[in-house]
A = this chain, B = another copy of it.
Amino acid sequence: MPKSVSRLMPVVPGASRRQQYSASTKRALVEVAEGLFTEHGYANTSLDAIVAGARVTKGALYHHFSGKQALFEAVFERVETDASKTINKALRGRRDPWEKARAGLRAFLGVVQEPQYRRIVIQEGPAVLGYERFREQEERSTFATVLDIVRSVLGAGSWELDEAMLQTFARIFFGAMSSAGESVATSDDPEEAADRVEAAIGFIIAGFRSLAESGVELPDTLVTDDE
């Protein structure tokens, strides 16, 4: 039945018929897997269910992927890439660092409410991929965006920050946003919860501005006399 299948295929002009078929089934596997992983989780999703959903067999799956984990990684990358695109789209045109931060935070709080992102990236990503690969993937997409924003926001102050300190701040904000995002997503009223998170982080940023205006230095703020 070539007619119905052709609907599923992306138009890739330079690719041969077989290559298009192949790419199509690979896409189908990833898409079906994304849905099932999101709904039932990694451990509770069998490869049989995935290949049945994609209307192929395990032979096809193991032709395209080295195993279940590799398939999950493909799904993970897809979800992360989508999230990163969404966030970066929300940043387009904004020049003021503080405003970029606000827009980015808003966008992130939106993304973190998508079930795919919550389940696949936040909940199961670290366990399935292991923390190393998880961090690698993150640093190439959403974390990179956060780092960018933090860089421009803190660069707007008069402080001189080395790269390690910037990374630390970015990690802190990234963790804060992830955790806060989770509380937004599980809230009865996500809108209100998102407003609260925005207010709280905005308050933190306001603290930065206040410190910047009063010319406070960074490295000595915490190094007091005890210990």
Contact = CB atoms under 8 A, between A and B. Distances in A.
B206 A211 contact: yes
Interface string A200-216: 11111011101100101
Contacts of A201: 172, 222
A191 B130 CA distance: 24
Contacts of A128: 127
A144 interface: no
A176 B172 contact: yes
A178 B43 CA distance: 25
A126 B41 CA distance: 11
Nearest to A223: B199
Given A182-B131, A216-B206, A169 B200 contact: yes
Contact of A122 (B41, B126, B199, B216): B126
A201 B201 CA distance: 13
A151 B26 CA distance: 51
A175 B109 CA distance: 14
B221 A203 contact: yes
A216 to B, nearest CB: 7
B180 A178 contact: no
A196 B197 CA distance: 24
Given A127-B126, A168-B193, A171-B180, A204 B204 contact: yes
Contact of A221 (B41, B176, B206): B206
A173 B173 CA distance: 9
14 contacts: A41-B130, A43-B127, A131-B182, A131-B186, A164-B196, A168-B183, A172-B204, A173-B176, A175-B179, A175-B182, A201-B222, A203-B218, A204-B207, A210-B214
